Structure 1
């Protein structure tokens, strides 16, 4: 195995970890974990996904705004984001990652109750530009588009 191949494997694992930190930060309402996945000038654009389900949601930038908006909006919900099918292209200290994210949302406290059926299930496509920050990869730009949606979109607005 060459040094280049080994570095590529390490980078791909670290990039996957970055996407997982982003999702886990949302699922656990953990601002520090979410922050660790983003550059200071990060931009998160959910408008392709939210627009398809009738929600008016702004593009979020920088990191302080991303965390300040997403943690109060998603953190209290009973959510689970599953990141899969990660494909990466690495070019030195920059990379692009594309992945699927299945995200299940229930109102706070309703997730574990089998008699609760009000939910919002999304299959999203992530397109992320990342940069290497020392040993850590961070998302500089994330665009989220929805492949399909099922349920009540008002759950995502706290209604």
Structure 2
């Protein structure tokens, strides 16, 4: 376990900011089409494990490819809002590696028949983070859906289905 000195506190704060930025940068990317903020939270190569939501297996990719992942998954929604809770746990494995668990309520807004709909998923994120020359970055993200609320068509949308 790391000594809880000034550097520990600075690293802990930087990781808290990184976890908050993960969700806020997704929202910004959906709103503006500019996914550069989101891409910047990752190491140059990232393991994206969204298999608990989308099925399949974790995928290793260049961080720039994450922009397409986010853009494609959120295309049917006109707004998205990540309400990220305080980090549940930050476990430092070393001075340059940690694992972080955080919860988020993620609301997805869309129109069906001219009426705004909402689909919300409560998520537990597990981030493996690495201290790099750029600062703390996410090396591996795992999304674990806990609960769904609202119009279940939203889940179909993130899985690539569309209304006709």
Matches of 2:135 and 2:126, distance apart in 1? 19
Gaps of 5+ in 2: none
Specify the alignment match of 1:65 in structure 2. Answer: 65
List 4+ stretches of structure 1 deviating above 3 A.
56-60
Q: Work out which of the residue numbers 25, 34, 38 in structure 2 matches 1:34.
A: 38
Q: Does 1:103 align with 2:102?
A: no
The correspondence of residues 3-152 of structure 1 with structure 2, limited to 5 A, is: 4-29=4-29, 30-51=34-55, 59=59, 61-74=61-74, 77=77, 78-86=79-87, 87-90=89-92, 91-107=94-110, 110=111, 116=116, 118-134=117-133, 136-150=135-149, 151-152=151-152
Aligned length: 147
Q: Greater share of strand residues, 1 or 2?
A: 2
Q: Assess, with a 3 A threshold, how the Cα gap between structure 1 residues 102 and 49 changes in structure 2: closer, same or farther.
A: same
Specify the alignment match of 2:156 in structure 1. Answer: 154
Gaps of 5+ in 1: none
Worse overlay, 60-69 or 91-100: 60-69
Q: Secondary structure at 2:59's aligned position in 1? A: coil
Q: Secondary structure at 1:119's aligned position in 2? A: strand
Matches of 1:60 and 1:18, distance apart in 2? 20
**TM-score if structure 1 supplies the norm length?**
0.80
Worse overlay, 144-153 or 62-71: 62-71
